[in-house]
Structure 1
Amino acid sequence: MSTLAWFALGSLAVWAWLLLGQGFFWRTDQRLPPAPRKGPDRWPRVVIVVPARDEAEVLPVSLPSLLAQDYPGVAEVILVDDGSTDGTGTLAVGLAGRCGGLPLSVVSPGEPEAGWTGKLWALRHGMALARAREPEFLLLTDADIAHEPDSLRLLVAAAKANGLDLVSQMARLRVASFWERLVVPAFVYFFAQLYPFRWINRRRPLATAAAGGCVLLRTETAVAAGVPEVIRQAVIDDVSLARAVRRAGGRIWLGLAERVDSVRPYPGLGELWRMVARSAYAQLRHSPPLLVGTVAGLVVVYLVPPVALVAGVAGGDAVAAWAGGAAWAVMAGTYVPMLRYYRQTLWLAPLLPFTAFLYLLMTVDSAVRHYRGRGAAWKGRTYARPEATSGR
């Protein structure tokens, strides 16, 4: 057999494993766990903490959705204005005055101390203020996340009924522009492939992760885990948070959202590119060997199948064409459920190799940015490689 045929057969074998042996990552049925319709006998106090830096563009959509939460217990919102220059804090106060609903406090922690990322510094300040209210739960949600009126109630009911310490939902990201349709569903697909939700949600978990846009966290568990102090340098803060909670013995659940949406627009490829590149190399722990392995894996798993099919047909290599076509078909088939979740045309499924190639380039660019000293750049701040911190 030709070298290309061997590579195609190898890719097909990998896809057979991914289809059946990677926690059925491609299925989209991990939604909020069941809870009694009437909810708990006593609805616990909740404080919603929203870190916000220069979010005036999205706040008029997201903040009113939090203030309008239909929650049977006591709840309030703390928005932490993290050094915004666009009037985020003033806008939030005005929105609360016009919309009413849950009480809102707007605070500012000042510039982060050395060794802290901006978001975690804001969360530290907001969580400290929240704990003074003695809530049973904290809802940590980003400023670009809009919640349906029953979102908080459903989150708390699921946590109480199932004894969960951290309940996280992967917000449904915006898919309006061409590039959002091409890139965004794949972003969630790749995340689920790396952190299969079923593995995370097992009684004996095989993976640990969370989605930072929407995290309901039991307060006593946060204290026991030492968060956010123990993860203060984390660029990928949601996964780091989940690992800290797991180390403290907390139970975690992660799934896809039906009532929580991101309203942040990424209309062009440039915006999406920066969103991925700012943390891709951090996900690889800034390791050159892991970078090389990731690039090689993306090539074999996603790029070899279409190349083998086309080259095999053109060159009369039946094995390469058959194996490449079969691997590409399995790949596209596993992508279909995510496209349906995002209500997108299924014709995008065969384009997954092209999207994976874009992610390969974004990952390499993330490493290049790191070694040029730009690290994880976001909203005027650049974070270099974290130093070792004491953990639990």
Structure 2
Amino acid sequence: GTLDLLASSASESNLRATVRSHRGVVSGRVSSVPKWTEMHRINDIIGTISQARSKKVLRTVLFSLLLFFIAIIAVAIATANKAEDTQGTILLRDFKYDGVDNLRYPACVLQKEFLVGGDIKPIAIDYAFASLAAYKSLDTAQDQLDLWFGVKNAAVYNETAVETFKKERGFLGSRLVYGLVEFPSVPGFAVIVVRGTENAFDFLTDIQIYGAAALLQLVRFLLPAGDAWTPILHKVVSFMNILENSSLTNVAPYRETTEFIKYLKEQGRYKQLHITGHSLGGGLAMISGAQTETPAIAISGPNLRLSRLTFQPPVSEEAVNSFTLNYIPRRDIVPMIDDRGDLVQQIQCNTGVNNPFGCHKIGRTICQLMHDCGSGDRSIPCLCVEKFGFPEPTPKPGTNRTYAEACIEQVPLSVG
């Protein structure tokens, strides 16, 4: 007999009869029945409690993970909508940061697949500033680029390329915002800049893109020896997305930026293209860059190693490791989404440990890169000191005003 038979008995007398018939309990040993009964009751109670607790804990954990991911995306939206960190402040050309020798990053200047040639040296601060330009209006963006480079039209914000593409390829109703920056001194080179999440629709598509990967990352963290599952997690993420609504896939924002890259390459006007963006815009840049084998430079972007098979078309691990570069400030939460590719540049963040969301601000990242890598001949925002607490830059030769005076005057030197 089994304990299940004991459980099926309705009364103690029936229980004793069942025990006698199935266990061969003889007269004089009936006293063992209460023991069996009590043991089974305790087992039932413990099992019920354990099962209930485990289910409750599992539900709580999964719900907490979902809330955590939504909170990360919400922070990304909030910081993206406040990307005017350098708007309303002056860009000063007569001051400089020399850089910190022991903090110069290998990727202060880009190498290998990211080299441009000509008079342009691809430096990290330019891509960070271009990512900021994606949040601005066309007129403001061009003015800011002129001040940044110190020469009018050193970088030209192409106003018609995106509009023409959207008309020709049927994307006129798209909510995605991106632009094209050309460099006349290097014919055939341009940078696509992608703006991050700004509205509820973008928020939902962001969850669609990164939700499964973020959830599995956190589950992996909670499991004993969870890292042992890493080699197959990308397949699990792909399986979780099999039931995804095809209409959502068709409107995924990376589909448009990928198509735009293909469109520009088909025209034959550009021999070399780069794509960049901040936050979720950086994530879209890396997806499209990997899909089209176009160098992608993200600033605080979510990664794509686990999600790479969920995209249409899927992305190979080799493409992720060869064509995507992500600049990640320490303690920045958004780049914790998904697993990183091989090309990552960790940079410092001057906020306290109790303010990780401050590390996600594009303005702070620009100032951090200028301070650590050196500003070269680029203009320095006053907010680097006023808002983000960096040391004052040093005046360039011939400067007859202090940095504090220059920021109070709010008058930049004229650009050439």
Task: Tell me which interval the TM-score lies in, with the shorter structure as reference length.
Answer: under 0.3
TM-score (norm 2): 0.26
Higher Rg of the two aligned structures: 2
TM-score (norm 1): 0.27
